[in-house]
Structure 1
Amino acid sequence: MALCCRNVWCYMFFSFIGIILGISSFICFTFVFYNYYAGVMGFYSGVLALMVFHLHRLHAKDVLRDWYSVDIFSNIEFFALIGMMIGLATTLWFIFVQLYYEPPIMPIQTSAAITTVWTFMTFKWGLILFFTSKKYSRSLEEIHLVLTNSENA
């Protein structure tokens, strides 16, 4: 197995862990502890991790160019940018709340510290999705240039 394939499988493994943790945090914090902010941000983090997993899976199977075009990757980059901005803004907000008001971690229902963790995870997966889609968009552009040059020759 080539080094590239091993890296993609590692990325897929870590994004799969992100999906599981994001969805389980949504269920746990929303329906058990009633911390809706942490639950929603965990769900959004899981969705972003799912998109990263999907892109890596398509790349590993070498069918990425059959599913997506460069234009669609710009839309994915925009969605990732929105996720990054939401994650960064809410992370900074909850860090401010945690430092200024110093609420206790318990009870979990009103914990700003736990919500800060999941807003940061949303920022992280938005950032990873942005750079992953940028990388695969560039590779599709290169393949498209090679194919158009070989057709013209």
Structure 2
Amino acid sequence: MDLRRQWLKLAYATLGVAFGLSAFLCWTLAFNQPATAAFGGLSGVLALWTLVTHLMYGQDLWRTWLQGLRCFRAVGVVFSLVAVAGAVTFISLAITQRQSFIDPRSYYLTSIWCFITLKWSLFLSFYSHRYCKEFDDIGILIDF
């Protein structure tokens, strides 16, 4: 495990949590746009799960709970599908309602947060799969 790369992953996931929380609060309190707030908050939660995945990997806690990694991978896949469906839906709504790109209440911003949610769900699935595969390989070697 390269320590520098692990710290970068932790810092990036921490920024994702902060941006997701701030988007949730901003679009809930200031703009009263619940759809954008929901996908911003979901993005922050998925970034938090990714952060937890990296922290548990760094502390070598996944070795005893590989089923949890498989569960995280499944959650990532499900929310990837939700994010894609949301992005398609909100882009089509924005186009049919002829909304402006720069309006903070526009569905275009909601679709951007759908894509950010997609990013974090794919990261969660990817790193869960990667860490699970690494620990499976180690488990096979220990059996011999």
Q: With structure 1 as the length reference, what TM-score do the two structures score? A: 0.87
Aligned to 2:135: 140
Say which of 84, 103, 109 aligns to 2:99.
103
Question: Percent identity among equivalent residues?
Answer: 24
**Structure 1, residues 102-131: CA drift from partner, whole Å, max 9, x if none?**
21246533x111111111111110111110
Equivalent residue letter for 1:112: Y
Alignment partner, residue 74 of structure 2: 78
Partner Cα separation in structure 2 for residue 134 and residue 27 of structure 1? 31
For residue 108 of structure 1, give the secondary structure of its aligned residue in structure 2. Answer: coil
Unaligned 5+ residue runs, structure 2?
Answer: none
Provide structure 1 residue ranges, at least 5 long, that are not aligned to the other structure.
none
Q: Any idea what the Cα deviations from partners look like across 1:11-34, whole Å, max 9, x if unmatched?
A: 111111000000111111012211
Asked if 1:44 corresponds to 2:42, the answer is yes
**Cα separation, 2, equivalents of 1:88 and 1:47:** 17
Structure 2 equivalent of residue 34 of structure 1: 32
Q: Which runs of structure 1 show a deviation greater than 4 angstroms over 4 or more consecutive aligned residues? A: none
Instruction: Say whether 1:93 aligns with 2:93.
Output: no
Q: Determine if the alignment matches structure 1 residue 112 to structure 2 residue 112.
A: no
Q: Give the AA of the match of 2:116.
A: M
Q: Hey, what's the Cα distance between the residues in 1 that align with 2:33 and 2:101? A: 12
Q: What is the number of residues matched between the two proteins?
A: 144
Larger Rg: 1
Letter in 1 for 2:120: W
Letter of the 1:63 counterpart:
L
State the Cα RMSD in Å.
1.6
1:64-112 CA-to-partner distances (Å, cap 9, x unmatched) read: 324x22x222211111111100001111112222333321246533x11
Q: Which residue of 2 aligns with 1:125?
A: 120
